Amino acid sequence: MTDYHLVIEAGKTERQYVKDLWRYRELFAFLAWREILIRYKQTVLGILWAIMRPLLTMLVFTFVFGKLAKFPSNGIPYPLLVFAGMLPWQFFSSSLQESGGSLIANANMISKVYFPRLVIPVSSVIVSLVDFLISFGILLVMMIFYPVSFSWNLLLLPFLLLIAFACSLGAGLWLSALSVKYRDFRYIIPFLLQFGLYISPVGFLSSVIPEKWRLLYSMNPMVGVIDGFRWALLGEKLSFYWPGFLISLLLVLFLFSTGLWYFRNTEKTFADVI
């Protein structure tokens, strides 16, 4: 009798790895759906949390930056200005929190069976995208209520959402891979997000930054993402700082490409280290 041995291993080439990603597409859908259920199951408000969180933050920022600090809004209602900036930031923040610890949360599955580990952080970002779409519906209602006229700039919104997705996933890949080896990175993520919230133009327009510091300020990749969202949604009353946007775009591409590179190069050690 001939003995057969089944060896499960990762794809040795990028082409093989892409085939593996497609082969495990059902696992990707399952993980994303499971995370959605876990997030809203046995909660008092359920899916309303996805609406209340940006709304409450909007109220606080409107009071602090609009009423107390009296930052300019270029004729745009301040709550609408804040909410338009809050959406991409909330997507980035939620994605980083979910994907940063996603590998640790699925340690048992990683240590027992092979599948493309990239499926786990990507599914976490997709879950955050669901929250974004829910909150985006609230923004559209606000734009009708105030009212704000829609412009052709709105057609660029899918492209800007793709940039936000790449930025969120790139940072998530870095942190999720680093968290496997260095467990204290899970404590760094909340600090980074809290710090990033106040240095990003969420509660104010980036035009309040002095001109000589604008390019340096745009080294924060979320500056270009947030400015792009506001311009696409409220573009008729806002100027667009193209040099800063291009810098942010290049940094997003760098963050995504290096994050993917580092994740792929350390992926084969996850089962041993985790």
For residue 147, whether the previous peptide bond is cis, meaning omega lies within 30 degrees of 0, is: yes
pLDDT at 135: 86
pLDDT tens, residue by residue, 213-228: 989 998 999 999 999 9
Instruction: Kindly state the tokens that stand for 126.
Output: 């997709």
**Residue 164 backbone phi and psi in degrees, to 5:** -65, -40
How far is residue 83's CA from residue 128's CA, in Å, rounded to a whole number? 17
pLDDT band (50, 70, 90) for residue 45:
low
pLDDT band (50, 70, 90) for residue 187:
confident
* Cβ-based neighbours of 203, under 8 Å, separated by 6 or more: 61, 62, 64, 65, 71, 82, 85
Q: Which range has highest mean pLDDT (4-13, 109-118, 237-246, 260-269)?
A: 260-269
Helix (H/G/I), strand (E/B), else coil: 156: helix
pLDDT tens, residue by residue, 100-143: 888 888 888 888 777 888 888 988 888 888 888 888 888 888 88
pLDDT at 43: 60
How far is residue 122's CA from residue 65's CA, in Å, rounded to a whole number? 34
Percent of the chain with pLDDT over 90: 22
Residue identified by tokens 């190069």 is 265
Mean pLDDT of 47-59: 78
Nearest residue to 100 via CA among 30, 40, 174:
174
**Number of Cβ atoms within 10 Å of the Cβ of 41:** 8
∠ CA 41-44-47 to the nearest 5 degrees?
60
Q: Decide: 91 and 169 in contact? Cβ < 8 Å.
A: no
pLDDT at 47: 66
Q: What is the pTM of this model?
A: 0.84
pLDDT at 12: 53
Mean pLDDT of 240-269: 91
Q: At what angle do helices 49-61 and 119-145 cross, to 10 degrees?
A: 60
